[in-house]
Amino acid sequence: MDEFHRIMTDIVQLARLAIQGKQKDAQVFIRRLARRYEQLEPELSAHLSSLLRQVQKPMQESSPVLRGAVVESMPVDMDSRLSLARVEHPVHLEYDPSWSLDVRTKLNELVYERSHEEDLRRENLSPARTTLFTGPPGVGKTLAARWIARQLERPLVTLDLSAVMSSFLGRTGNNVRNVIDYAKGVSCVFLLDEFDAIAKRRDDSIEVGELKRLVTVLLQEIDGWPASGLLVAATNHHDLLDPAVWRRFDLVVEFSMPTEMDVKRAVQIYLGNASENKRWIDVLIPVFIGSSYADIERDLKRIRRQSIVLKEPLEKRLKEFIAERVNGLKRSDRARLALSLVDVGFSQREAHDWTGVSRDTIRKHHDTGSRTQWQK
Ligand SMILES: Nc1ncnc2c1ncn2[C@@H]1O[C@H](COP(=O)(O)OP(=O)(O)O)[C@@H](O)[C@H]1O
Ligand SMILES: [Mg+2]
């Protein structure tokens, strides 16, 4: 067999293994190739060997692009070989989140301080090293940690609580310590996401004493966190935290449910930018008032998916969705919805049929323009 045919056969074999998802076999095959080309094509051989070294490190399938040193030294549980942390680097966001004024100010503060490290050091100060994110679920705490990592162009390392907690009794503390040592070493944004989950879990797989030790280990880290990194702790239950704990963080950022402006922006983001959707934005605001970002994202993405797979106009799915929701709305939001419907071109009768708001009311508000009272 000449060299060319041999390469062809190799490519086909590699493609077969890849398509069949035979990772182990592919590794064995690649190792053989690396050996075979050692003399002839040393560069290719080195490249293949380096690829092999990367996969031999246990890592989670779902981890996005992982690079170099950050991944090389990633700590794993001794027995299960599960990664104890997840690394995202570089962080890629689908869209630019819109933060409320207060949140934006504080997040920017964290980022700007990093770009003035020298100036701060001259005055014997360091940028904020630790921050606590609090707020209800689904309002952007995890997203904010990712956003900061992106702005700082640092890896985001997240302690994998489920891996840590499932580790064998007695090793949890050690595991957490390993992750922390690792995170301190790679100058990253280190996210302790929903770290109250540790404190809350009191079932039998992990004893209370152990839990307490774990929380103590974590809290001790706040004070000693190196200025080369940023520790972000996020919690949905700030009320469970001792005020003494709050005070240990350099900066506390409180996330709240989206305001009307935020709802509008979220609808714009998640509705997609097809221009025919634009007129629905105002209609959807009253429907989503009081929802979290996570709810808005979930509902709108579902509607878009349905419209695609059922090959139905988005408008049809949106109408059905609004019809489902209308009964749960507050009276004022329902009235507002009725008026938005008229504004985007539905008749007063249709607006009434949909929302149950009387045509009199619709007409009155529409004619006098007094709907602005709902648009605040
Ligand atoms: N300010 C925002 N703008 C747009 N989308 C957001 C915003 N905040 C959160 N989301 C979306 O809502 C979902 C939940 O956000 P997440 O950060 O996981 O919430 P939390 O950590 O507070 O529970 C995510 O998919 C995220 O993209
Ligand atoms: Mg979260």
Asked if residue 208 has pLDDT above 80, the reply is no
- pLDDT of 3 reads 79
Rounded-to-integer distance, Cα 291 and Cα 297, Å: 10
Measured from the CB, is residue 97 less than 6 Å from ligand 1?
Answer: yes
Q: For the chain, how big is the Rg over CA atoms in Å?
A: 27
Question: Any idea of the CA torsion for 315, 319, 325, 330, to the nearest 10 degrees?
Answer: 100
Q: Could you give the CA distance from residue 30 to residue 11 in angstroms, rounded to a whole number?
A: 11
| Cβ pair 307, 313 in contact under 8 A | yes
CA-144 nearest atom, ligand 1: 17
Query: Distance between CA atoms of 206 and 234, rounded to whole angstroms?
Result: 22
Assess whether the C-beta atom of 142 lies below 6 angstroms from ligand 1.
yes
H or E segment at 149? helix 141-152
User: Tell me: the pLDDT tens digits for 33-75?
Assistant: 988 888 888 888 888 887 887 665 543 333 344 455 566 677 8
Give the pLDDT confidence score for residue 288 in this predicted structure.
Answer: 96
Instruction: Report pLDDT for 295.
Output: 97
pLDDT for the residue numbered 62: 34
User: Both tokens of residue 210?
Assistant: 């152990």
Rounded to an integer, what distance in angstroms lies between the CA atom of residue 148 and that of residue 91?
A: 9
Q: How confident is the model at residue 198 (pLDDT cuts 50, 70, 90)?
A: low
Q: Report the mean per-residue pLDDT for the chain.
A: 84
Ligand showing the shortest atom-to-Cα distance for residue 292: 1
Residue pLDDT, tens place only, 92-123? 998 899 899 999 999 999 999 999 999 999 99
| Alpha-carbon span 320 to 205, nearest angstrom | 45
What distance in Å separates the CA atoms of residue 325 and residue 359, rounded to the nearest whole number? 20
> For the range 313-321, what are the long-range contacts, defined as Cβ-Cβ under 8 Å and sequence gap of 24 or more?
314/274, 314/276, 314/277, 315/276, 315/280, 318/280, 318/283, 318/284, 319/354, 321/287
More confident residue, 239 or 252: 252
**Does the CB atom of residue 270 touch ligand 1 within 6 A?**
no
pTM of structure: 0.77
- What pLDDT score was predicted for residue 149? 96
pLDDT digits (tens, 9 = 90+) for 220-243: 888 889 998 999 999 988 776 777
- The closest-lying atom of ligand 1 relative to the alpha carbon of residue 97 is 3
Distance 26 CA to ligand 1 centre (A): 38
Q: Which residue has the higher pLDDT, 74 or 373?
A: 74
Is the beta carbon of 141 within 6 A of some atom in ligand 1?
A: yes
| 153-169 mean pLDDT | 79
Supply 196's token pair: 């109250």
pLDDT at residue number 84 = 85
- Residue 247 makes CB contacts below 8 A (sequence gap 6+) with none
Q: Whose CA is nearest to atom 12 of ligand 1?
A: 294
CA atoms within 13 A on the CB side of 271: 24
Q: How far is CA 155 from CA 113, 187, 227, 229, in A?
A: 18, 8, 15, 10
Backbone angles phi, psi at 334, to 5 degrees: -65, -45
Instruction: Tell me if residue 235 falls in helix, strand or coil.
Output: strand
Domain ranges of the chain: 1-56, 101-254, 260-374
Give me ligand 2 centre to Cα 4, in Å: 52
CATH number of 101-254: 3.40.50.300
